[in-house]
Structure 1
Amino acid sequence: MKTAYSDKELIKLVPGFTSNFIVINDISIHYVHGGKGDPIILIPGYPETWWAYHHVMPILAESNQVFVVEIRGMGSSDKPENGYDKKNIAKDIYKLVKHLGLDSVFIAGHDIGAHVAFSFACNYPQATSKLILLDTPHPDPSMYQLPMLPVLGGTYLYPWWLAFNQVKELPERLLEGRMSIVISWLFDNLLINKDSISQFDKSVYSEAYDNKDAIRCSNAWYQAFPQDIKDYASYSKLEMPVLAIGASGYDLLLHSLPEITSNLTLKKIENCGHFILAEKPIETAELIKAFLLTI
């Protein structure tokens, strides 16, 4: 039943957390909240929702106040026509942080959420105590060099969806009512332990993305890459402590982050694909907790 995948039902599966809405920057943003202590903002990526953190949230809530935020266009947050560059989405997060009465936060993101977390740290360093990037760096000029065709005889999984999602209107016409096909393909091909994402999890995400507005908005995150890359060129080196946790994306983090950070800790999770929150949640959470405790 569809109701099983609603926020109202899902939040019951994560004791100690509540589902909340707030209007900031002229849109309604959905977030879940629980725990006590210093605040940490967690931002999911594509093709997921706040549910991506459901294994990690209770572990971090043992010592921190946890906010998992669905960015504009994601899950139960509003889906406006524009504003999907990561600098503007970071502004959404900043306004949320100020509305919550928080002066400074830890902030973490995975995939598209890592882009937003990085942009937040660059644009609001005074509000960023520490930054955590999960398997994904911010878009930079090297993204233009990514191979878009399979290499003959190679094992490289070319990211065709980065190009496909650049196309306007066609994806939502093709995929409305069929996003479960794409979502299943991504998890099947970007996980090592394919059982780490259950059919229930896939249904949660398919329910969230399987309509024209959701497809349009999630693609808009990708269509903003040229602007994101332009904004990246204007950012100063980050001075706050930065933790990058990589699995399949480790080499990208290693290539991208040393030049843009002054205080970097880089950790690799072995035998793990891109979706580290699902595949290695305890190891990921423990690395985050240890990093937050360091001075």
Structure 2
Amino acid sequence: MTDAATTANRPCDQSSISGLPLPDLAGFTHRWVDAEGVRLHAVEGGRPTGPAVVLLAGFPQTWWAWRKAMPGLAEHFHVIAIDLPGQGHSDRPHDSYDTHTVASRVQAAVTALDVPKYWLVAHDIGAWVAFSLALEHEERLHGVALLDAGIPGITLPEAIPTDPDRAWKTWHFAFHLVPDLPETLLAGRERDYVDWFLKAKALYPDTFGSAEIDHYAAAIAAEGGLRASLAYYRDAAESARKNHDALGRQHLTVPVLGISSSHGSIPDMAASIGPWANNATGVVIPHAGHFIPDEQPGAVVDALTAFIGQCPAGAAPR
């Protein structure tokens, strides 16, 4: 496995996706690590000796989804935001986007960054990966927080509603599964698609400005990003199967926080996860839609700080 420090010192033009801008966040450093042969991008900062908190984002975003929450978390924690395979400045492999395979790669990246045990916080597809990671690598976690996500085989509805008042939240699951058609319709129109997602699923459409929409659209349009984004959905059935296989062996025993929002996709994450976790609690963030870290970053920081602080491991070093 590539040494994290060596990889971090490579010039950015050797470590990033060609032509894709690399935004900086004050107080944080870009890192690239080898994770089972796939190079993943991470952004690291905060208190080096504080409890480690690893952040994962979902569709159609990148690590940048956490930029508003990261400075607040950095006051107390060692913060690491990771681009999943296919996201942002991470590699876009051509196969294996089931969440157990991706979780193994995320865990390999965290190990390469010399973090033995940590708190895992994840939104949307990131939460798909986080749930599978908790099933397979629970001994590496102090706890996990999952934000507004329909997790395959767990909280993802078995059927897509046809009621227009609800269908707009989940219609894309079926669309993304269709072979080739999404690529045909979306190639060259990534910005229009991303614009709809961010504005339709946020409670307040002006949450996202043009620069943010440009950033996420460029990441999906670059070097196989669209293919990789769709692959998570196309491998969702395999993710669900592996989740249920793992749950047949044991349920989650680490503390789990389900974070919902007043106008999100999953009204009660804790209740949805509860049957599979021995210690699940929940919180509902008001005045937010699906993109909770963007819409209410202060409330997210407060909820995570309270969650970590109330658990015995919360005061422990990483």
The 1-side partners of 2:242 and 2:173 are apart by 19
CA contact (8 A) 2:150 2:157 kept: no
CA contact (8 A) 1:137 1:252 kept: no
Give the unaligned 5+ runs of structure 2. 1-17, 312-318
Aligned twin of 1:72 = 85
The 2-side partners of 1:163 and 1:217 are apart by 16
Aligned twin of 2:219 = 208
- What do the CA deviations read for 1:113-169 (whole angstroms, capped 9, x no partner)? 001111111100100111010111521166463325334xx4553522111111233
Q: Which runs of 4+ in 1 moved over 3 A?
A: 141-144
Measured after TM superposition, the shift of residue 19 of structure 1 is 1.1
**SS in structure 1 opposite 2:82?**
strand
- The 3 A distance-change label for structure 1 pair 254 and 244 is closer
The AA in structure 2 aligned to 1:279 is: E
**SS in structure 1 opposite 2:160?**
coil
- The 3 A distance-change label for structure 1 pair 4 and 273 is farther
**SS in structure 1 opposite 2:199?**
helix
The 2-side partners of 1:245 and 1:21 are apart by 29
The 2-side partners of 1:142 and 1:55 are apart by 27
CA contact (8 A) 2:287 2:296 kept: no
TM-score by length of 2: 0.85
Give the unaligned 5+ runs of structure 1. none
The 1-side partners of 2:89 and 2:228 are apart by 12
Aligned twin of 1:97 = 110
The 1-side partners of 2:242 and 2:272 are apart by 15
**SS in structure 2 opposite 1:106?**
strand
The AA in structure 2 aligned to 1:259 is: P
Aligned twin of 2:123 = 110
Aligned twin of 1:242 = 256
Q: How many residues align?
A: 287
The 2-side partners of 1:122 and 1:29 are apart by 21
The 2-side partners of 1:221 and 1:73 are apart by 9
Aligned twin of 1:222 = 233
Aligned twin of 1:63 = 76
**SS in structure 2 opposite 1:233?**
helix
The 2-side partners of 1:69 and 1:77 are apart by 9
- The 3 A distance-change label for structure 1 pair 48 and 158 is closer
CA contact (8 A) 2:54 2:120 kept: yes
The AA in structure 2 aligned to 1:106 is: W
145, 152, 156: which one pairs with 1:139?
152
**SS in structure 2 opposite 1:149?**
coil
Aligned twin of 1:26 = 37
Aligned twin of 2:197 = 186
Measured after TM superposition, the shift of residue 246 of structure 1 is 0.3
The 2-side partners of 1:169 and 1:23 are apart by 30
- 2:97 aligned with 1:84, yes or no? yes
- The 3 A distance-change label for structure 1 pair 163 and 211 is farther
C-alpha RMSD of matched pairs (Å): 1.9
- 2:279 aligned with 1:266, yes or no? no
- What do the CA deviations read for 1:188-246 (whole angstroms, capped 9, x no partner)? 21111111111111111011112461111000011111011111212221111111110
- What do the CA deviations read for 1:87-119 (whole angstroms, capped 9, x no partner)? 011100111122222221100110000011111
**SS in structure 2 opposite 1:74?**
coil
- The 3 A distance-change label for structure 1 pair 147 and 255 is farther
The 2-side partners of 1:281 and 1:16 are apart by 17
The AA in structure 2 aligned to 1:242 is: V
- 2:55 aligned with 1:39, yes or no? no
Measured after TM superposition, the shift of residue 187 of structure 1 is 1.5
- The 3 A distance-change label for structure 1 pair 144 and 19 is same
The 2-side partners of 1:242 and 1:267 are apart by 11
